[in-house]
Structure 1
Amino acid sequence: MKTKTFALIGAKLGMLAATGAIALAAVPANTQTPAALPIEAYGALPALEEAVISRSGAYTAMLMTANNQRQILVVDSSGAPVKQFVVGDAKVRGIDWVGDEAILLRRTETDTVAYGTGQNKGEWARANVLPLDDNRDVVSIFAEQRSIANFVAGFDGIREVEGRWKGFFRGYRMGRRSGEDRILHFRPALFSVDLSTGEAEQVAYPAGENEFRSWLVGDEGKIVATLFIDQKSGSWRIENEGGKTIVRDKQEEGRISLVGLDASGSSLIYRSYDDDLAETTYLTLPLAGGEPREVWADEEVHRLIHGDDGRVLGIVSRSREVMLSEGQENPALSELYAKWTAGDIDLESWTPDLSAVVFATSGNYDSGTWYRMDTTSGTRAMLGLERPFVQGLAIGKIQTVEFEASDGLTIEAILTLPSGKEAKDLPVVVLPHGGPTSRDEEAFDWWAQAFASRGYAVIQPNFRGSTNLDDSFVEAGDGEWGGKMQTDIGDSLRALAERGIVDADRACIVGASYGGYSALAGVTIHQNGYRCAVGVNGVYDIEDFFRYELSGQSSILSRGIERLVGEGTNLDAISPTAQASKASAPVLLVHGRDDTVVPFAQSVLMEDALQDAGKPVTLIELKGEDHWLSQADSRTAMLKAAVAFVEKHNPAD
């Protein structure tokens, strides 16, 4: 269920002393030290990664991995196998049901396509329809459409239209230019695709120059709302099916999006960031027009519960309350969240009437477990384990800790302890997350557990700017790249050292993407006494990266990046490449050669800067690997290298 987060903002979009006491729940030490499992047990892709329930509830499809081969297993409501699809080494990004008839497989490939006037290398999305009936052919979305590029630019759901299943996909129109087929328009149109034949029909035009468009597809396959955003000014408006503007406003960074229809289908729900309130608000508005009204005003929305017709059935709040629309109740779901206190739990799939759901758990003694539940009777059955070979005492204890930074801000961190060791003066790995607008949760984490299995305590700080709390906490990270976001990470180490749990003199820092930036910043911009640093697919030269990232991009994206990094910030002062001469510890860099989010060149620049400064550095290239480490062999190679590097410079014993 849980994988390491590699999202990096802008990719698709003085030390502080800890002055407050740390709140740490007592965790009993295991009386037995389990034998260390091989690193492959942690680097392997999950044996069960996703499970989705069909429209009627008759079937459940499970995305699984065995012997490095991805497969989709379909079982009936009793758990009996119905169908198996072997998809090999495909990089699967999601599966969905087409009624009860077929599986929509969403995947990506690193590829080079003719785009505009040149070749563009990217991680391109593609989709296939896999029918349960052996007499029906597999359908590849856009593959046979000469006038549409052979990749998917967005997915807007599946609807049943006049007895046929239609998928709504964004795509690019193709045509002849300079003697070869090329994309003609640099904004996607919306297409309705017959999922039994692959026939595509354009149902909405692409956006104009300097404009962004998104669409809300109703339960009968009609576009009931269109959002227009001016990418220079941030002005936006929503039009209904008849082309009438029903609401307009301005959000300078374009933080506005369509969410879905309400339970009645007569009003839409949209999400916007309110600059005055400094928070994200959800509003509902009749499709015919009227006055927007805020919904879930006092709740932090953790999960939206969508029906398969695009309607919003309810939410799961951050406080684990299930709130259904129009006052409806589902006592079984509310009770499930209320009573499941052993770790992380989340709804993953459900029937339109919520009579059957799939949920997944993770946490102490639980490396990831998937269940199917009948909400009428409350009965549930286990579908499978994510990591069947990592169980019981092999799982390091996980808990949330709190500490106070010197400016008074309360910070949370996830602490994972090695099994069989007393929580006293432990060697430690600090493992900041990517994003930076992301978070770590009290759940099984394959990186953290790999290090814990080797005798290390692992600290995963949710530094300011993380999404584990409210919008004001996220905003506290604005302009703090290399600043307080970084000192929060150092504060987490000092806070736990003051409690005697870890030894701050026996620490390394490891991270990926923005976490990779944090790892290198921790030994260059700041010297927190780390014995070593490991950066994976990280950003190290801020100016070079944003030049790459913002090339040809809109003003709203530029303003968002400026807010995060800080207006007028000296980028050299917060770039590990420019501060390489200050490096205080050996560095290991690992980077996927096919990373299309953070270019491989970022690690080359960092390696060159450290070598020029006479600092010890090693760069490992992962051939054929992307930003998310999608392949088991690459994950394992990265983990082996990182663990060996940490053990060399910061032995656990």
Structure 2
Amino acid sequence: MLRILAVLAAFFVCGHAVAQEPAPPTLEEFLSDLDFWSPELSPSGRYMSGVRRVDGEDFLVLLDLDNPAPTLDATNLGDFYIRWVDWISDDRLLVALTGYVDIRSGRNMSRQELRDWNEDSRTIPRSFSRLASIERETGKTVAMFQEEKSVHRNFSLTSVTDMLPDDPDHILMPARLDGDLDLFKVNVTDGTVERIATGTRNTYAWYTDRNGEPAFRLNKNARGTVIYIYAREDRKNGSIKWRKIRTVRLKSRQNDEAALDFQVLYPGPTETTYYVSARPDDEDKAGIHLYDFERDEIVETVRKHEKVDIEDGFFNTETRELVGVFYYDDRLVIEMDDPLIQSHLDALDTYFGNEVNVIPLDSSEDGKRWLLKAVGPREPGSYHIYNLETAGATELGNQRKRLNDKTFGATDVVTYTARDGLELRGYLTRPPMAEGAPPPPLVVMPHGGPEMRDMVTFDQDVQILVARGYQVFQPNFRGSSGFGKAFADMGRRQWGRAMQTDVEDGFDHLVAEGLAEADRACIFGYSYGGYAAMAAATLTPEKYQCVIAAAGVSDLLAFLRRERREEGSNSEAYQYWVAHIGHPGRDKETIKAVSPVEHAGNLSRPLLILHGKDDGVVDYEQAERMDKALRKAGKFFRLVTLENSSHSYMPEEDELTYYTEILA
């Protein structure tokens, strides 16, 4: 234990290790476990908590920041994995834990058993998660819902809807105890619960108003691609009715930073108002608005931007006022109403070399101590404490210690003009280059969605390729989100057409500028990007030297048929895809004209297809259809099935296969 404490303390005090000759990370280093995560400041700002992993063991770490000679307190919680930590008060923490149970015997499994487990083992592990409160001084631990017998059938029980800052003994938690996801008031001192609102089997989240009363209920469709937002309506007899107010399409991958069309943000200044990120019917850009959920209307536009959608805001917890916003232009932009706070943020941007996104994660109640995260193309993620009175920053540590002092590629903004005159922008990330050397081979990487976007930040896919000597270009083609509704709508029914030529025009621009060579480029994409890669392979087969398509759509008509079959012909989910791709009856021939499966015989370059067997967004049948068409055409290609992966999740073994195949 003393050795572990010494290792932990050394990490916090020293930060980066000194590297003799900085080198790019290896694939193993990129895919290494997180070493430090979930840092949190206590309400007063005196204490900091977090999670540190050392030699495969998780430790809850606490640090007294007011102590002139701070010592680190580290607690091992046994066989549980720690997911996140948060503070209820300076004296009590919440800790989300994951454990494993053998579903045959019902016995909890140890970490050693999990490490030794294989398919021949007699146990069948199943993960479960629970929330516990811990007293800071005594270490006394209490499990939430511990008296509920039906809790054993709930394998995920760590979400918190409202920390109830005015009630330090309670929090609000959603729990699926009887099939429906209901909302409960939970006593953090003894774990007892009281049900306060009832959801449905499709409910997945709750939001509360300024008084801690349920205000919004969010439901998902069966495939998790669309959310339906219901607002509370108080009836005269005292009962509550839930009224559907919005349908919002979710992003296909969890790391997208673009604003949704309607996103619930924060309770407003009155009981029936909420701050939302939304675009009213006559607005092109998503801005922050004050929404009255009782009247179902936008009552005030609080902040908007003329160029891009606004992502989110910062709010005063006492007055419920918006005090600042953030959005992505190329990098993250934060605009605070207080000039003093803004000056500190501007100075921090300079301190970090004007090339990283400085993200305020938390602050003390008096606002004098901040917890920050820094992330950018050459900074994979580090945490810092900032003191406003001294204007000094102290690094706490990196997310992945094995990436310390490694070299990463720098990213430049590229502006170019599409063949029809539309102004576009993308991002070019390059490895360090010798003066006068020819440009490195290029990987063109269109993003997924297609209503997503790229920005200047740390991108693991990009940096893994850069570490092997490639440069990577990420175009924000028409149809991308983040730049307003009109720009996104330019991509409607432009699959394989203008969206595709926007990608090509970006590549041609790099060649014309001497930044890339026409005969040394590959295209690689995931989801919609996977479609764009296969479209390039079959519609412009001589354009790229190789093609990598992951989780991509190959047969657009089959994709539409599946959406109609699973969602219904009148569903908003199906109508979304008809609007973006075309009607499978009326537009059948134009859709077939841009479906890669219909043009498999055109393939003339090596093609790698990767697809998760459990993909529920772009089903595995899409890979099988392309496989069959290519075999029939006698073409050279490789299909790699990721046996245990979905659209947005890969287990470690599939992740290693994924990147190994791409690099090969």
* TM-score > 0.5 by shorter chain: yes
Do the aligned residues in 2 keep the contact of 1:427 with 1:456 (CA within 8 Å)?
yes
* Structure 1 residue 204 corresponds to structure 2 residue 176: no
SS in 1 for 2:644: coil
CA distance in 1, matches of 2:593, 2:98: 39
For 1:436 and 1:63, how far apart are their aligned partners in 2?
35
| Secondary structure of 2:519 counterpart | strand
CA RMSD of aligned residues (A): 4.5
Cα displacement string for residues 438-481 of structure 1 (whole angstroms, at most 9, x for unaligned residues): 22222232221221122211111122222353343233223323
Q: Which residue of 1 is the match for residue 440 of structure 2?
A: 426
Given that residues 51 and 349 in structure 1 are in contact (C-alpha distance below 8 angstroms), is that contact kept between their aligned partners in structure 2?
no
3-state SS of paired residue (2:196): strand
Deviations 1:383-436 (CA, angstroms, capped at 9, x unpaired): 212344445572122211111111222221111112234563431111222232
* Alpha-carbon separation, structure 2, partners of 1:564 and 1:34: 46
Counterparts of 1:335 and 1:395, CA distance in 2:
24
Distance 1:402 1:545 in 2: 33
Equivalent position of 1:453 in the other structure = 467
Residue 159 of structure 1 aligns with which residue?
164
Which amino acid letter does the alignment assign opposite residue 129 of structure 1?
A: A
CA 1:626–1:467 in 2, change beyond 3 Å: closer, same or farther?
Answer: same
CA separation of 1:507 and 1:356: change in aligned 2, threshold 3 A: same
Distance 2:426 2:96 in 1: 36
Residue 411 and residue 576 in structure 1: after superposition, are their counterparts in 2 closer, same or farther (change >3 A)? Answer: same
Q: Is the 8 A contact 1:68 1:632 kept in 2?
A: no
- % identity of equivalent residues: 23
In the TM superposition, what are the counterparts of 1:438-477 in structure 2 within 5 Å?
438-477=452-491
TM-score normalised according to structure 1 size? 0.75
Query: Match of 2:441, SS?
Result: strand
In structure 2, what residue type is equivalent to 1:429? V
1:112-151 equivalences under 5 Å are 126-129=129-132, 131=134, 134-139=139-144, 144-145=149-150, 149-151=154-156
Q: Check the 8 A contact 1:432/1:461 in 2, yes or no.
A: yes
Amino acid at match of 1:438: M
Match of 1:272 among 274, 278, 295: 278
Corresponding residue SS for 2:657: helix
Q: In structure 1, what is the Cα distance between the partners aligned to 2:82 and 2:497?
A: 36
Residue 295 (structure 1) aligns with = 302
- One-letter code aligned to 2:183: L
Tell me the amino acid that sits aligned with residue 222 of structure 1. E
Amino acid at match of 2:572: I
Counterpart among 346, 371, 388 of residue 384 in structure 2? 371
Question: Deviations along 1:217-271, whole A, 9 cap, x unmatched?
Answer: 1354323x34799999x99866469879999997676854432223677842234
Matched position secondary structure for 2:596: coil
Partners of 1:314 and 1:322 within 8 A in 2: no
1:178 paired residue number:
none
Distance in 1 separating the partners of 2:491 and 2:574? 17
**Residues 152 and 274 of structure 1: is their aligned pair in 2 closer, same or farther, counting only changes over 3 Å?**
farther
* Aligned residue in 2 for 1:437: 451
Q: Which residue number corresponds to residue 350 of structure 1?
A: 363
Of 291-300 and 625-634, the range deviating more from structure 2: 625-634
The answer (yes or no) to whether the contact 1:142–1:151 under 8 Å persists in 2 is no
TM-score, structure 2 length as denominator?
0.74
CA contact (8 A) 1:357 1:372 kept: yes
CA distance in 2, matches of 1:230, 1:622: 26
Give the distance between the partners of 1:454 and 1:229, measured in 2 at CA.
43
Distance (whole Å) between structure 2 residues aligned to residue 87 and residue 575 of structure 1: 53
**Cα deviation, residue 502, structure 1:** 0.9
Q: 1:128·1:139 contact (CA, 8 Å) conserved in 2?
A: yes
| Preserved contact between residue 219 and residue 310 of structure 1 (Cα < 8 Å) | no
- Residue pairs, 1:333-344, within 5 angstroms: 333-336=344-347, 339=350, 341-344=354-357
Q: Secondary structure at 1:503's aligned position in 2?
A: coil
Deviations 1:352-400 (A, max 9, x none): 5543322222335433322122334422211212344445572122211
1:539 aligns with 2:553: yes
CA distance in 1, matches of 2:420, 2:51: 46
CA distance in 1, matches of 2:496, 2:425: 19
SS of corresponding position for 1:487: helix
Matches within 5 A, 1:605-644: 605-644=625-664
Task: Look up the SS of the partner of 1:57 in the other structure.
Answer: coil
The question of whether the paired residues in 2 share the 8 Å contact of 1:332 and 1:378 is answered with: no
Q: Which moved more, 1:242-251 or 1:513-522?
A: 242-251
2:55 matches 1:55: no
**Matches of 1:450 and 1:38, distance apart in 2:** 8
Q: How does 1:192-341 map to 2 (within 5 A)?
A: 192-206=185-199, 215-223=206-214, 225-226=215-216, 239=233, 255-262=261-268, 267-285=273-291, 292-298=299-305, 300-306=309-315, 311=320, 313-318=322-327, 322-323=334-335, 330-331=341-342, 333-336=344-347, 339=350, 341=354
Deviation at 1:583, TM superposition (A): 2.4
**Cα deviation digits, residues 34-91 of structure 1 (max 9, x gap):** 6554221223344445433333323333355556666654433266433345698969
Match of 1:190 in 2: 183
Residue 89 (structure 2) aligns with: 99
Q: Give the letter aligned to residue 477 of structure 2.
A: F
| Deviations 1:495-524, CA, capped at 9 Å, x for gaps | 101111111211111222222222222212
Per-residue deviation at 1:483?
A: 2.5
Higher helix share: 2
1:402 is matched with 415
Aligned mates of 1:248, 1:259 — CA distance in 2: 19
Distance 1:265 1:374 in 2: 35
Per-residue deviation at 1:214?
Answer: 7.1
Match of 1:557 in 2: 573
**Does the C-alpha gap of structure 1 residues 508 and 378 become closer, same or farther in structure 2, counting only changes over 3 Å?**
same
Count how many residue pairs are aligned between Structure 1 and Structure 2.
586
The letter for the 2-side match of 1:56 is S
1:33 shift after superposition: 10
Letter in 1 for 2:502: D
Check conservation: 2:560, 2:574, Cα contact below 8 A. no
Gaps of 5+ in 1: 1-31, 113-122, 175-182, 645-653
| Change beyond 3 A, Cα 1:392–1:487 | farther
2:45/2:365 contact within 8 Å kept? no
Task: Indicate how the Cα distance of structure 1 residues 216 and 249 shifts in structure 2: closer, same or farther if over 3 A, else same.
Answer: closer
- Which amino acid is the alignment partner of residue 128 of structure 1? L
SS at match of 1:523: helix
